[in-house]
Amino acid sequence: MKTQIRKKEWSPAREIMPLILGKEMVDDLSEKEISKLELFEAGLKSGIKKDDTIEAAVGKMVKLAIAAEFGPSLTKAQGAAQMVTTITRAIMGDAKLKKQALIIIDRLTQ
């Protein structure tokens, strides 16, 4: 029963997962994955502003995703800026990924 309550509390955070995965999300995420997603979404809500350029917003999203998945120390490591730039360019160059990123950014900056 406690798991069901936890899933209901987290339900709004699951809005972006179908966009990221391209399908409906399965309800069997671990607590660790849930906490990473919540951290990522909280960072997006506070970090991305409406007046950011598209590339800047996607760059912030990439940096936040890396920080949520691997820890914030990786984003400060040597070469991290180049890694973020490379991933951002790859997203910006792929129409499907760019569309997903823009939808997520739009939903979380309203």
What's the pLDDT tens digit per position in 51-67? 899 999 999 999 999 99
Q: What is the mean pLDDT of residues 81-86?
A: 94
What's the pLDDT tens digit per position in 13-54? 455 555 555 555 555 567 787 788 888 888 888 888 888 999
Query: What's the structural domain count of the chain?
Result: 1
Sequence-distant (6+) residues with CB within 8 A of 68 are 36, 37, 39, 40, 43
Structural domain of 58: 2-108
